[in-house]
Each structure stands twice: as structure tokens, then as C-alpha cells.
Amino acid sequence: MQTVDFGHFPLHPGDVVLDLGCGEGRHVISAYVEADVHSVGVDLSLEDLGTTLDKFLPFAEPDNQAKSFGLSAASALALPFADNSFDKIICSEVLEHIPDYTAALREIERVLKPGGLFCASVPRRWPEQVCWALSNEYHEVPGGHLRIFRSRQLRDEIERLGFSHYYRHWAHALHAPFWWLKCLFWEKRDSNWLVRQYHRLLVWDIIEQPALTRGLEKMMNPVMGKSVVMYFRKELAA
């Protein structure tokens, strides 16, 4: 399930791409597959990095010297990279988990090259508010969501760091009801029949990519897309 649209976030041969908070690898692997780039994933969780590596192996091209893949366990607040190291940075569904997210944004600005592209996605405000209203546990679990962003406020904060915003869209409308159901039946979310059936639908949709559900989600995204996805360009040095 990919959140970033590479049509609005083009990857060029030789690009060095960072997926910050890569989780189980959906974007760091997608970037590697998409183009001849050097794709790097960073996450705090060693378990998630191990899962990412396992998922990556079927896509590895060891004989292709034009691309590479790497993973690192590190904090978003102290990235182990030199200034101006990356051409593109993705930070998808991560900032809402970080207590000092502004420090993470400053690190992103530091390691991104002037003129480089940055894509940030966070949960959209109103679908997230429904989740919080239905379940306190949803956002009180360790590592859970610490805040609900206003997208315009987040956009302004990023722009003040020296970025210009150039595109926005919404994603994963079909996933919003799934999370509402999980929150509604939080105590039995893993065994509830309705939650399990909806999960089966989402898995089928992701694997089969049927035209009906793809078209339906495309129409629904502007109204109830679970994520808001924003694209920025770091301003060139004066």
C-alpha cells in the first residue's frame, strides 16, 4: 500500500532517497523498484528493519550497480548522515508519532540537498478525530499517535524551514472505515467478525487491484482519504 505518488515525486537515475521512519519498507522498497536509485530506509525498530530486509530480498538486483539498498537503525532527531546527503526524502505516517516533530523536520531540512524534494504524509484531521472519539486506547498505546495535525498548519511549519509546497492529495479512503471499526471494537479488534471481513476486503484490494475498488477509492479520497500527502521542494541556497 503506497502513499507517495511517484508521478508527483519523480525519481531520477542516481538519486539518493531516504525513507525516514520506513516501518516495514513499503516506500524504501518501492523507490528501489521504481528507478535506478540508492534507496535508504531509517527506523528505530530493529524488528521492522528485519521485516523490511526480508520483503526486499525478492526485488534485489545485485548485478545492477546503478542502484543500491540500505537500512539503518537511527532516530529521526539525530540522523547519521552529513548535510545535503539526499535528493529525495519521504516521511510517511511518522510525524504524528514523534514528540518533537519539529526537530525531525529540521533534521530533514539538514540532510536534504538544496532543490531536493520532500514528501510528508500524516493522518487527515477529520477521519483521525473519529478514531480518537471512538477509542482512547487507539492513541494512548505506546508508540501511538500523539497529535492530530491541521494540514495547513503543518504545511506552514515546513515552509518556514525553507521549503516551497507544490502539490497535495489524499490517500487510502477505503482504509478510514477499517480504522473506525477497529476503534469501535478495540477490545476485540483482532477477533471481531466485521473487522476481520473488512480486513480481508482490503487485502484483496491491495493484491488484486480491481478497477471497481481502485476507481471508488479515487473518487472517495478527496472526501474521506485517511491520509493527506504533501510535496515540497527545498529552496536553493542564496
Task: Render pLDDT for 43-95 as a digit per residue (tens, 0 to 9).
Answer: 999 999 999 999 999 999 999 999 999 999 999 999 999 999 999 999 999 99
**Sheet bearing 16-20, strands edge to edge:** 68-73, 38-43, 16-20, 86-92, 112-123, 227-234, 163-171
Nearest C-alpha neighbor of 70 from the set 49, 95, 87? 49
Task: Render pLDDT for 160-193 as a digit per residue (tens, 0 to 9).
Answer: 999 999 999 999 999 999 999 999 999 999 999 9
β-bridge partners, 37 = none
CA distances from 64 to 17, 35, 48, 60, 88 (A): 17, 11, 26, 9, 21
The pLDDT of residue 211 is above 70:
yes
pLDDT recorded at residue 142: 85
Rg (CA), the chain: 18
User: Residues 1-24: what's their mean pLDDT?
Assistant: 96
User: In sequence order, which residues have a C-beta less than 8 Å from that of residue 103 and are 6 or more positions away?
Assistant: 76, 77
Architecture per CATH, domain 16-124+137-172+226-234, reads as 3-Layer(aba) Sandwich (3.40)
The pLDDT of residue 238 is above 70:
no
Full-model pTM: 0.95
